[in-house]
Structure formats: C-alpha cells, structure tokens
Homo-oligomer: A and B are copies of this chain.
C-alpha cells in the first residue's frame, strides 16, 4: 500500500489537501459510533457554535455537509438562487473558472468578469455593473476570496463597500476554500451572505466536509430559491437542528472528532496568531522567490496570497518537470500549474498546520529542484532571504515560554 515509499516524511506543500496535525490524526483514529446516540448531537451543538468563530460570524447559520468544496459551492448557489438568476462572477483562475462552469451548468445567467490570470477580480467593472443595475437584476455576486491556482487574494471588504455604495441588494457569496482560517476573513463585518470552505484546507483535516455559513439574508433567500436541491438542501439540516438531532443523514464520526481537535488547536494557538503565522510564511516564501530571481504569478502586491504562492518559471523550463522531480527525488509535493498556466507556474501551498522550519525545508528543496532542471539558482539564496525575515519575526511558542 505504500509502494511509492521514500524514506522520511513527505513534504506536503500542495495547496490542499494539507498536513494534518498529529493530535487531529489521533482524534480521528477511532471506530464508528451511533450518530443518533445523545453523544453525537451534544458534540455537534458545540461544533456548530465554534465553527462560526472561524467565519467571524455571530449571526450566520453553519452547515457541515459531507462533501467537498465543489459540493459546498453547489449548496451555496442552489439554496439561494433560482434558475435564470443573473449573477456576477469573477474569472481569475482555474478555481473561479470551475465555479463559473458550475454556475452555468446550474442554469444561472452568469455575467462573467474576467481578469488576466495573476490579477485579482476587476472591481471597477463590478462597480459599473452595479451602477447600471438600478432594476436590481443582479441577484448575487460570486467571488473566490483566494484563487488557489494563481495565488491571488481578492479584496472582499472592497466588494462590500461597492455593494453598499450602490445600495445594491445582491447576495454576496464567497468561496473561502483556501482562505478561511488562514487569511483575514470577516463574514459579519463584510456582510458576506454565504461563505464556505472545505475541511482539507486551512482546517487541516482530511477531505470530506464542506462547511458553509449562511447569513439571515441568505436563509431568507433560501425560502424562495427555486433551484432544485435535495442532498445540498439547507432545509433538511434546519429541520434536524430544530429537533436537536442535527443530522439529516449520516455524518462522518471521524471528521466530527477531527474537527473538534482541529478547532481546539486553532483556538489554543489563537485565530489571530494563526492568521499572523500564515502572513509570516507567505512573506517568507515571496522573499525566497525574489531571491531566486523568479517572478510571482500574482501581478501586484495587493493581491499577494498568504496561503499559496504561484511561481513563474522561465520559458525554457517546464514547471511540471519541477513538480515531478520534487516528488521523485526529494519527497516534496508541490502544486502543478493548471490550465492557462500549466507548465508555466509551480505552486507552493503554505496553508494549514505548518511552521517555519517545515517551510524552510521546502524552500531548500525547491532550490535544489530548480538547479536540477537547469535554472541557475544560487543555492541557499531563497532560504537565506526567508530566514532573515523569519528570524526577526517568529514569536516564541506561547505554551513554551
């Protein structure tokens, strides 16, 4: 079963699924349980309360659905919208593309605002569309907070500001898959109506749980939304929430206990510290990329992502070869370039339960791979740049002071 065994740890730096901390692996190491016993609902109740904290919402209603991010997208859309509804959606990379594809297949009327890959959402166009939409035909704005394919973070507070400027009632639907619990995300403050993430991203769990939070406005919208839905229907959950048994169908017992452990670790570290750590690791990565003389796929600093960095390689190098070689020679898992940037970028995921030395090991590995494939990198240069920054900024581990 481990037929591709290599000695030592696999260095997992794809932008998901990410490293699971040992305490979470332990918590999930268990037999099944009867989810209709009093124990599971009691546990679920606290999980639902606690999960709201990572969305920074007190008014939202959370749903933990046995699905992936793709399913969470579908749940967000079909519960709030009706076929034919006009929505504005931003295409800035592979994952926003896939979400738009889903929106179109679900029969919404998608008004796509496209940017060059490597740029953020074009919010000027959003402003002009909202300005023009005095009839409020736009029912929702769909935006990916962090485009995992290009390492671009969109400015959500600006989206809210624009919606407010035009007093536009459109729903504000956010894919927070590679942002929530890693980047600064504020559901209530930014007036987000549906936000969603997946368990295998910054929460550092296995794949299998799509987590959404719906604002009161989104819940209200769900009462009239005509999109056909059953498995993803919030109403089935709400019915069981009222009964206090919580689950319309069988949840993964293991993921529930895993989530409990994951949240405990996050709260122990402190959510703000978690976000600061991601910021620190993101900056260290970018400094290394710069030291290597390579370009960040993200074109402006305002869009830099603290969860994933897409690195452009010179035209004479195939970035897929970097990813292949990293895995084959150094047991290092990097992210491929996808679609338009296939062969042109490789990606370093630096999200989830990760620390400074793990990242430095990865950066040292990337340097060696770059040399392997013929890029004239100065070995040690990226690590040196990252170290100089990290040695200044890394705090003591609070529990060990």
Cβ of A257 under 8 Å from chain B: yes
Q: Name A384's contact: one of B105, B228, B384 (CB within 8 Å).
A: B384
Give CA–CA (A255, B208) in the complex, Å.
Answer: 9
- Check A39 against B357 for contact (C-beta < 8 Å): no
State the CA gap A354–B231 with chains docked (Å): 30
| B355 lies within 8 A of A368 (CB) | no
Which one of A28-36, A156-164, A167-175, A187-195 contacts B? A28-36
Which of B21, B37, B208 has a CB less than 8 Å from the CB of A66?
A: B208
User: Within 8 Å of chain B (Cβ to Cβ): is A19?
Assistant: yes
Q: Is A242 an interface residue (CB 8 A)?
A: no
Q: Which residues of A, 132-161, contact B by the 8 Å Cβ criterion?
A: none
B residues within 8 A CB of A253? 17, 206-207
Q: A123 interface residue, CB < 8 Å from B?
A: no
State how many residues of chain A have any CB contact under 8 Å with chain B: 122
State the CA gap A11–B11 with chains docked (Å): 13
Known: A68-B250, A357-B365. A329 touches B33 (CB 8 A): no
Chain B nearest CB, measured from A43 CB (Å): 8
- Among residues of B, the one whose C-beta sits closest to the C-beta of A74 is B231
When A71-B67, A327-B37, A391-B372 are in contact, do A6 and B397 touch as well, CB less than 8 Å? yes
Q: Which one of B7, B73, B401 contacts A353 once the chains associate, using CB atoms below 8 Å?
A: B7
Contact of A355 among B251, B330, B380, B401 (CB under 8 A): B330
Bound state CA distance, A255 and B206, in angstroms?
9
Is A265 interfacial (CB-CB < 8 Å)? yes
A-B contact pairs, 23 of them (CB 8 A): A1-B27, A1-B260, A4-B39, A6-B400, A7-B354, A8-B21, A12-B31, A14-B34, A17-B34, A19-B31, A36-B335, A69-B249, A102-B230, A105-B228, A105-B230, A198-B250, A328-B400, A328-B401, A361-B361, A372-B391, A379-B383, A379-B384, A380-B383
